[in-house]
């Protein structure tokens, strides 16, 4: 199974048709390269705020309210592309109105068979908390797709081991991470989180990112990082855990994920973090002993 993760340069579409045309072009390129799964980045829906006047663009709450009119066209667009391209489309995230002026950061996963799956972001960043209008999700999911199980960790969620561990224990062997970071430190945090989740759970992790500048948006103003597909740092995989990464402005990082070989490789792995995980819960390790110096 080939996966494509986007390094998506934020633009300023003049209307929804322009946005849709770009998605068709970008995803068509991923499909032509053989991708069975294509992953777009977090906050992709906020690119649509560019279709409104400057007062709305500059105001996060107003932007979130305005883009709700695109919710059904958004789902129809990506569901249609998933069917037409015979490809799973992870459509980044849409900030979805849940009522009373509150929004959830929802990752939509559209399958080529017409199914709509979704996972809300569970942990809020400082920016999201300070907004006063974005709320955390409360359901953790694992999806059955093409004979494997996959989970989604939206950006900051990838930095928390226990929910991802619960997804692994529910059978997930692929973790998809749509992300958006505006500093090098933020990009590093998500990268390190992805590497750690790949190592401790022995799973593939696929991270998409936003790129470029969008000074008109308080959420998409600056964007950093490279789209990357990670694997455990063990026999049969790259020493740095990187299967594929964008460079020189490439829009997609593509990697072949051989899940059968992946499972077989467990028998001769150098380490077994996934199987040794319960060792952390031994009673002597539950509380540290303070020794006087």
Residue-wise pLDDT tens digits, 185-241: 999 999 999 999 999 999 999 999 999 999 899 889 999 999 999 999 998 899 999
Cβ pair 46, 220 in contact under 8 A: yes
Please tell me what DSSP assigns to residue 181: B
Instruction: Specify the pTM.
Output: 0.96
Handedness of CA 196, 27, 237, 274 (dihedral sign): positive
Q: Which residue has the tokens 């906020």?
A: 46
Q: What percent of the chain has pLDDT over 90?
A: 90
SS3 284: helix
Structure-token pair, residue 215: 């000074």
Q: Treating both helix axes as pointing N-terminal to C-terminal, what angle do 184-201 and 161-169 enclose, rounded to 10 degrees?
A: 40
Number of Cα atoms under 13 Å in the Cβ half of residue 64: 25
Q: Round the CA-based radius of gyration of the chain to a whole number and report it.
A: 19
Using one digit for the tens of pLDDT, what is the confidence trace for 243-276? 999 999 999 999 999 998 888 888 788 888 888 8
Q: What is the average pLDDT value for the chain, to the nearest integer? A: 96
């Amino acid at each position: 199974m080939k996966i494509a993760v986007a390094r998506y340069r934020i633009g300023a579409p003049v209307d929804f048709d322009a946005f849709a045309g770009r998605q068709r072009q970008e995803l068509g390129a991923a499909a032509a390269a053989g991708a069975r799964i294509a992953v777009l980045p977090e906050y992709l829906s906020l690119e649509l705020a560019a279709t409104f006047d400057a007062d709305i663009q500059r105001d996060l709450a107003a932007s979130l309210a305005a883009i709700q009119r695109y919710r059904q066209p958004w789902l129809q667009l990506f569901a249609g592309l998933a069917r037409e391209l015979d490809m799973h489309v992870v459509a980044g995230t849409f900030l979805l109105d849940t009522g009373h002026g509150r929004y959830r950061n929802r990752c939509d996963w559209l399958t080529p068979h017409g199914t709509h799956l979704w996972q809300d972001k569970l942990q809020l960043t400082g920016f999201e908390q300070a907004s006063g209008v974005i709320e955390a999700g409360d359901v953790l999911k694992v999806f059955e797709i093409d004979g494997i199980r996959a989970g989604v960790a939206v950006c900051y969620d990838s930095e928390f081991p226990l929910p991802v561990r619960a997804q692994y224990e529910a059978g997930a062997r692929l973790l998809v991470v749509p992300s958006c970071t505006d500093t090098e430190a933020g990009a590093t945090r998500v990268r390190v989180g992805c590497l750690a989740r790949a190592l401790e759970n022995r799973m593939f992790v696929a991270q998409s990112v936003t790129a470029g500048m969008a000074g008109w948006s308080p959420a998409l103003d600056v964007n950093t990082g490279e789209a990357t597909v990670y694997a455990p740092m063990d026999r049969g995989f790259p020493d740095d855990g990187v299967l594929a990464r964008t460079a020189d402005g490439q829009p997609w990082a593509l990697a072949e994920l051989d899940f059968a070989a992946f499972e077989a490789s467990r028998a001769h792995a150098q380490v077994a973090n996934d199987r040794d995980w319960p060792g952390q819960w031994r009673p002597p390790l539950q509380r540290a002993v303070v020794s006087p110096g």
